[in-house]
Amino acid sequence: MRRTGPLKLCLIGGIVMIIQFFIPHKFSKNFFDGIVSWLIVSAIPALVIGYYSISHLHLNKIKRKKEGFGYSIVTLSSIVIMAFIGFMWGIEENSLFMKIYQHIQMTMQATMFSLLGFYMASAAFRSFKARTPEATLLLVVALVVMFGRVPIGESVFVKLRLPNLIEWILMYPNMAAQRGIGLGVGLGMMATSLKIMLGIERGWLGGTGK
């Protein structure tokens, strides 16, 4: 029963959700909205577990004074301070909480992504070595797009009267490739969902899945 019960419940739930998707009725829509609300509610314990996990990890680092434990102190202090500010003064648009989020956290995120740009350029240079005609074409297109997305490149492209070249690359060849990848990912998700519903994939039950 410990195995068959969850499997049967998963199968019934999957079939019900598939059927309701093809029923254009108000009851079906309300049912779907109710399920989504329950999923949000059920995610709250996962959030609590996540906070416990990160607190446990960083507290152990601080107690044992492992390398980099100062960052753990900053992390835990930031969690406590932001939670306190949110509870005391709210999280409205002009609140202190949102000002800290917009002017500190978003700035740090932008800095992190700007640093990742150099790693992406380095990885692209190593990956797109022109050994074949296809790799050469990929390298040229990547360089054009990357160069055209920075201010200097944009000014050069305007002088060359090619302002729409990058947009054409992104809207047509790139979008076609993205849709192909998305279609493959969607089919993989459907196959995995069917395996879970039919009990072929049982890893989500814990243990070895046997």
- pLDDT tens figures, 128-170: 666 778 777 877 887 788 777 777 777 777 766 666 788 888 8
pTM score over 0.75: no
Residue 184 falls within a domain, yes or no? no
Assigned domain for 16 exists: yes
Mean pLDDT across the stretch 73-95?
92
pLDDT in tens, 108-123: 988 888 888 778 777 7
pLDDT digit string, tens, across residues 1-55: 677 888 888 899 999 999 988 988 899 889 999 999 998 898 888 889 988 999 9
Position 135 scores a pLDDT of 76
In a domain, 142, yes or no: no
What's the structural domain count of the chain? 1
Q: Give the pLDDT score at 117.
A: 74
Alpha-carbon Rg of the chain, whole angstroms?
25
Contact 145, 153 (CB under 8 A): no
5: containing domain: 1-64
More reliable by pLDDT, 99 or 153:
99
Domain membership flag for residue 123: no
> In this structure, are residues 111 and 105 in contact, taking their beta carbons and an 8 Å threshold?
no
Is position 23 within any domain?
Answer: yes
The answer to the question of residue 2 being in a domain is yes
Are 175 and 167 spatial neighbours (Cβ–Cβ below 8 Å)? no
| Tokens linked to 57 | 């990890």
Question: What is the number of other CB atoms lying within 10 angstroms of the CB of residue 175?
Answer: 11
Indicate whether 50 belongs to any domain.
yes
List own/partner pairs for 38-41 with CB under 8 A and 24 or more apart.
none
Quote the DSSP letter at residue 131: S
Residue 139 lies in a domain: no
